[in-house]
Structure 1
Amino acid sequence: MTESNHVFDFRGEPWWVDHSAHLALIRPATPLGAWAFRRDRREVRMGLDELLQQAMRVHDLYDRLNLHERGRVWTREEFMLGFAGDVGDLAKLVMAEEGARDMPGGRAALEHELADCLWSVLILAHRYGVDLETAFRRTMAELETAISARLLGDESPA
């Protein structure tokens, strides 16, 4: 018996479920929120806090490696420079995805670089003491307000 796709309430939010084979893909029905994957009906949800925890484990491993190989760890500025390099690599991969240049690695390289960039953002936010979820929600609300106001202004008769 297969289950149909549906929306259900989870923690006060509507969630959309797509059941296929033995894996159910779950995502918020709204634009905000993390993707979650379930196997055999046990939910494994990776939210921002868990992404940060995993990013910090990798950060700590890099610190250990850099101490071992170089006798020091990266500064916040060096993390930012690494991020800038990752964004440059991402730009080349996006151009390749759009057919504007040739780059090895294809889609897998694009996914990897997007994940690298997310890792850098998470680490920089942590290193600068920024509550990324709060800052994101506040910034998106400000943008929605500003863009909506501009759109309403454009709809006024001249």
Structure 2
Amino acid sequence: MSNTLKLNDVISRAEQIRELYHQLELAHHGSEWTVEEDVLAFLTDAALIARLTMSQQGRWPKENTEEELSHKLGECIWWLIIIANRTGLDINAALDGFLTKTEKLLNK
């Protein structure tokens, strides 16, 4: 069995998880996080990727970061899917557009 995930399946799972977090936010704060709060959470996780990568490469004094780095990479991909969804953008179209434009630019 292949470990390759299909993007549409990932998007569906990501949205289901985000809905569960919305329920926790309602229970704890009385309201769901805003899109801006989601973006701030993404940026925080992206910054952690930088620090964990430094550690993994021996440039920051923290040991055994492989599992945490892997988790944060997955979490950042999840956040990007959620942010696209909450801003009304199609992550498939955004990714395809970026790849196509970049391929054309680099294959001149």
Paired AA for residue 36 in structure 2: E
Unaligned stretches of 5+ residues in structure 2: none
Q: Which residue of structure 1 aligns with residue 46 of structure 2?
A: 87
SS where residue 51 of structure 1 aligns?
Answer: helix
Q: Distance in 2 between matches of 1:108 and 1:51?
A: 20
2:66 to 102, 107, 122: 107
Task: Report which of the two has the higher share of helix.
Answer: 2
Q: Which residue of structure 1 aligns with residue 8 of structure 2?
A: 49
SS where residue 145 of structure 1 aligns?
Answer: helix
Are 1:70 and 2:29 counterparts? yes
Question: RMSD value over aligned CA atoms?
Answer: 1.4
Task: Report which of the two has the higher share of strand.
Answer: 1
1:129 to 75, 88, 104: 88
Residue 81 of structure 1: how far off its partner (Å)? 0.4
1:145 to 101, 104, 107: 104
Q: Distance in 2 between matches of 1:93 and 1:53?
A: 28
Unaligned stretches of 5+ residues in structure 1: 1-23, 27-34, 36-45, 150-158
SS where residue 74 of structure 1 aligns?
Answer: coil
Q: Is the radius of gyration larger for structure 1 or structure 2?
A: 1
Residue 58 of structure 1: how far off its partner (Å)? 1.1
Paired AA for residue 104 in structure 2: T
Tell whether the 8 Å contact from 1:92 to 1:103 is kept in structure 2 after alignment. no
TM-score by length of 2: 0.92
Percent identity of equivalent pairs: 28
- Higher relative contact order, chain-length normalized (CA < 8 Å, sep 6+): 2
- Provide the aligned length of Structure 1 versus Structure 2: 108
Q: Distance in 2 between matches of 1:110 and 1:59?
A: 21
SS where residue 129 of structure 1 aligns?
Answer: coil
TM-score by length of 1: 0.64
Residues 42-61 of structure 1 show CA distances to partners (whole Å, capped at 9, x for unaligned) of xxxx3111111111111111
| 104-113 or 59-68, which deviates more | 104-113
Are 1:59 and 2:18 counterparts? yes
Are 1:120 and 2:79 counterparts? yes
